[in-house]
Every structure is written in C-alpha cells, then in structure tokens.
Amino acid sequence: MMKRLLGAAAALVLAGSIAGAAHAADKLKVGFIYLGPIGDLGWTYQHELGRQALVKELGDKIETTYLENVPEGPDSERAIEQLVRAGNKLIFTTSFGYMDPTLKVAKKYPNVHFEHATGYKRDKNMSTYSGRWYQGRYIQGQIAAKMSKAGVLGYIGSFPIPEVVSGINATMLGAQSINPNIKVKIIWVNTWFDPGKEADAAKALLDQGADIIMQHTDSPAAMQVAAERGKLAFGQDSEMIKFGPKAQLTSILDTWGPYYIARVKAELDGTWKSEDTWGGLDSKMFEMAPYTNMPDDVKKLAEETQAAITSGKLHPFKCPIVAQDGKEVECKGGDHLADGQILGMNFYVKGVDDKLPGK
C-alpha cells in the first residue's frame, strides 16, 4: 500500500513536470503511459522500443511524450489527463489496469483519441489492442515437451487472470500434442515484477523436479536461475538470451512498433477510428525470438508449427477442448474456441494437475 502511494506521488511529480513542455510546433503530439520503468527489460521496455520505432519512422511529423512508472488504478487518471492537457491528440495507455481511467478520460475529451492495451472496453474515441500470445505459448509447449527429459514443466504465473490461464492452457495443449503424459507444476507469485521472488519460484520448481522453466512474469531472474543450474527456459516479453545464452529456447517478443506506426499514420491521415485489434503471429504484433539451444529436428518442428499458426491452418484452441474436470468445452468459434472464450478463459484444460486459484 505504501509503495503504491509513493508510486502515485512519484507519478504526480512526473506528470507535473512534463506539463510545461506543451507549447511547441504544430506537430501531432502522441503520448504514452507506461506501467514500469523503461529499463524493466520486459513489458514496458518493449513498448518503449515500439515508441522509438515510431519516432524513427515519423519523427519529423510527430512529437512523443511518455510517463513511466505510472501505477494502475484510479491514480493513473490524473497522469492520462496531464497528457491530454499537454496537447497530446493520440494517447496509448499500455497496461490492463489503465482501462477504466482511460475510458473516463476518453469520455471527458471526445476530441482526443485513446488506445488502450490488453483491455476490453472501447468507446468512439478509444481503441483497444493486444496480442494473441497464446499462439506463441503453444509453440513453446511443443518445444518444452520435446526438450524435457523429466516430462515435468515448471511454470511461474503472475496472477490467475484469463491471459495467463489461456497461456498455461495453450502451453499444455502444445506439449500434449507431443507427449500426452506431460506434467506441469505451477507456482503463482502474485506479482508481475519481483526478481527475487521469481528466482525463488524458479529454484523451487527445479528443486521439485521440473527441468524446463516457463514464466509469465517480467524479469529475467528465472532465466538466470535456469542458466545457473544448466536447465532450459523460455524468455518473456523481450529477448532474454543475454541472461541465459545456453538456457533460452525462445521468447515471445512483443513488437508494438508496426502497430504504433500504423495507428499514428491513420491519425495523421484523419482515418483513425475506434477499433479492436487482437493481433497474432500473422500481424507481427509479436514475434518468436530465434529458436536456440535445441536440436535441429525440434527447431524444424517449432518453425513448422509457427508457419501453420501464422497461415491460420492450425489453431491452438482447436476443438474438442476438454477441461480439467473431463467435460468438453462448448465450441463457440466453429472448429476452435471463440475469441471471447479465450479472452475470458477461467478453466484449466485436462492434464493440468493443479487447482486454479479462486475456483
């Protein structure tokens, strides 16, 4: 609580300091709200890379501002509003917890356009955008099943929200397509970012017999533990091979740049309209880091799966999907689960030997 308060205070100080830089030329002003520091090497870092790509592409026509370390929740509203007052006409709010504050500010300023990452609430002047990361997790599941000698995967979860749960399920479906008896041990650390705790969780998983570490938290700590112990791991959000040159199998890389460029171009052309973008491998919303530390046949398999998912031939949540309790899940999307079912996923698939928290 204290930390949140302090963070909020810090955000206010930051927000206050940029307000002065409002009056410049009549370039389009684009604002960004970041959850963490730009040097987090994970989530926020990738958004910052996207912003830098945007500046490189359209730097002569636009002016960008970002606020980092803005805590989620009601306090972020003030930070977003500061960006509006500073004259930003297109504002990207880059974390789930900014959803309601963004919506509130959007209603207040109908002439400003907003883009909210990973949320589900939209308005005339508020779009949403996100990535179909479960596709990447399916590929990772296949690689993990091939590479695991023990047949036990270790999975570090942040919070049991649908995005993370669907990631676990996609991983398991991918792994089961290779080895139907694969096991997964899941540890929820209940934080997105605490390097020490993430490392402890990785150690606990390895100590209990898992030999591949997968994570849905933000720091490279788990990768480093795997590397230290001569085990294998997957990175998260960004390239983490530096922290485990002999450990990283691949990593899902969020590549926001193309999307940011496309949306700002639309804003410049006057063609911007509220949309819901959920980009997969085909749209380059994310990429897979090079497949490393695996034999050629596994690499080939991963590349083939990636190609099949990209072309739409393979859907990770292809029906029939059997839930943990043995009942088949209703198939609302034709031959695969509907987007809404994936976005709201709150069950484990069969073979996950764990109880979903809160169920």
List residues near another protein by CB under 8 A.
2-3, 6, 9-10, 13, 36-37, 39-41, 69, 154, 157, 160, 185-191, 193-201, 203-205, 207-208, 210, 219-221, 224, 228, 242-243, 353-355, 357-358
CA distance 357 to 161: 10
- Report the relative pairing of strands 212-215 and 113-117 from DSSP bridges: unpaired
Task: Return the number of the residue (196 or 326) whose C-beta is nearest another protein.
Answer: 196
CB of 3 to another protein, least distance (A): 5
Please tell me the distance from the alpha carbon of residue 103 to that of residue 116, in angstroms, as a whole number: 9
| Pairwise CA distance, residues 9 & 235, whole Å | 32
CB 72 to another protein: min, Å:
15
- Kindly state the DSSP code that residue 254 receives in the 8-state scheme: E
Shortest Å distance, C-beta 212 to another protein = 14
Q: Of 2 and 25, which CB lies nearer to another protein in the complex structure?
A: 2
Structure tokens at 243: 């922290």
- Choose between 9 and 307: whose C-beta lies nearer to another protein: 9
Q: How far is the CB of 255 from another protein (least distance, A)?
A: 18
Task: Return the number of the residue (125 or 217) whose C-beta is nearest another protein.
Answer: 217
Residue closer to another protein, measured from CB, 195 or 279: 195
What's the closest the beta carbon of residue 146 comes to another protein, in angstroms? 22
Span between the terminal Cα atoms of the chain, in Å: 26
Q: How far is the CB of 171 from another protein (least distance, A)?
A: 16
CA distances from 273 to 81, 245, 270 (A): 21, 43, 9
Which of residues 109 and 159 has its CB atom nearest to another protein in the complex?
159
Backbone angles phi, psi at 255, to 5 degrees: -120, 90
Beta strands in the chain (DSSP E): 28-33, 62-67, 90-93, 113-117, 126-131, 152-157, 183-188, 212-215, 232-235, 248-254, 276-279, 286-288
For residue 93, the cross-strand partners are: 33, 116
29 Cβ contact partners less than 8 Å away, ≥ 6 residues apart = 62, 63, 64, 65, 86, 87, 88, 89, 90
**CB of 187 vs another protein, minimal distance in Å:** 5
Closest distance of CB 320 from another protein, Å: 26
For residue 245, how far is the Cα from the chain centroid? Answer: 23
Separation of alpha carbons 346 and 359, rounded Å: 9
Nearer to another protein, 81 or 194 (CB): 194
**Which is nearer to another protein, 160 or 279 (by Cβ)?**
160
Q: Is 210:201 a contact under the CB 8 Å cutoff?
A: no
Look up residue 251 and give its amino acid.
S
Minimum CB distance to another protein smaller for 10 or for 53 = 10
Task: Please give the distance of CA 259 from its chain centroid, rounded to a whole number.
Answer: 15
Contact between 116 and 91 (Cβ < 8 Å): no
To another protein, the closest distance from the beta carbon of 356 in angstroms equals 9
